[in-house]
């Protein structure tokens, strides 16, 4: 019997911490579906399509990884994908409370659904999407925080955005 896990997240951006969880989970599961969640409450840098495309590029040579996206309830998506296993990564104790709450809610909605938690390696615990975005926006390198393909796209997006806002500020001050 093949063991398939859904690894959901916003992945904005996809980080080396996410990569660490997936690489280690490949030793436990036969297939991992990395699924980008549509979350209207989060302000994102990348569109859903861009995030899916970036993650597909990272895992292009790995048949064990499927990359997808979903709307709505995660429990319904897991049913659609014919799996009862959710994979969740945790960086710190502060992640635990939220992740436990979500796991219990999902279990309430589908008693057959199991959530497997993996703690990222310690050298990735400080990585967060907001930290990465701030570093790149301020002209720093995120090379050690995200895969190369992600860093290139981040630099394009954030430096363009920074340039646009600088132009806007200059126009505003000149008025």
**Which domains does the chain possess?**
4-125 (3.40.50.620)
State mean pLDDT over 167-174.
Answer: 48
Catalytic residue among 51, 81, 129, 133: 129
Distance CA 163, CA 145 (A): 23
**More confident site: 94 or 157:** 157
Do the beta carbons of residue 98 and residue 117 sit within 8 Å? no
Catalytic residue among 18, 81, 133, 153: 18
Task: Respond yes or no: is residue 144 known to be catalytic.
Answer: no
Q: What pLDDT is stored for residue 168 in this prediction?
A: 44
Q: Is residue 161 very low, low, confident or very high in pLDDT (cuts 50, 70, 90)?
A: low
Task: Say if residue 174's pLDDT is above 70.
Answer: no
Task: Respond yes or no: is residue 81 known to be catalytic.
Answer: no
Rounded to 5, what percent of the chain is helix, strand, coil?
Answer: 50, 20, 35
Catalytic residue among 42, 160, 161, 168: 42
Q: Output the CA–CA distances (angstroms, integers) from residue 62 to 26, 66, 148, in the order listed.
A: 10, 9, 17
Q: Give residue-wise pLDDT tens across range 122-131.
A: 998 888 888 9
- pTM of the model as a whole: 0.88
Percent of the chain exceeding pLDDT 90 equals: 75
Task: Respond yes or no: is residue 91 known to be catalytic.
Answer: yes
Q: Inter-axis angle of helices 48-58 and 148-174, to 10 degrees?
A: 150
Beta bridge partners of 32: 5, 65
Q: Cβ neighbours of residue 123 under 8 Å, at least 6 residues apart? A: none
Q: What pLDDT is stored for residue 156 in this prediction?
A: 92
Q: Output the CA–CA distances (angstroms, integers) from residue 121 to 20, 31, 46, 92, 116, in the order listed.
A: 7, 21, 26, 10, 16
Return mean pLDDT, the chain: 90
Task: Respond yes or no: is residue 18 known to be catalytic.
Answer: yes
């Amino acid at each position: 019997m093949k063991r398939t896990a859904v690894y959901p997240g916003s992945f904005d951006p996809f980080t080396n911490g996410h990569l660490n969880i997936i690489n280690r989970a490949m030793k436990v599961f036969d297939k991992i579906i990395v699924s980008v969640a549509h979350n209207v409450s989060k302000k994102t840098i990348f569109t859903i399509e861009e995030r899916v495309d970036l993650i597909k590029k990272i895992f292009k040579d790995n048949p064990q990884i499927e990359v997808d996206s979903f709307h709505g309830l995660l429990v319904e998506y897991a049913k659609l994908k014919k799996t009862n296993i959710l994979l969740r990564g945790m960086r710190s104790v502060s992640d635990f409370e939220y992740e436990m709450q979500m796991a219990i809610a999902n279990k309430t909605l589908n008693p057959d659904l199991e959530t497997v938690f993996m703690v990222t390696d310690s050298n990735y615990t400080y990585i967060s999407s907001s930290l990465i975005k701030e570093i790149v926006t301020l002209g720093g390198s995120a090379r050690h925080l995200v895969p190369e393909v992600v860093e290139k796209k981040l630099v394009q997006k954030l430096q363009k955005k920074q340039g646009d806002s600088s132009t806007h500020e200059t126009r505003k001050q000149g008025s």
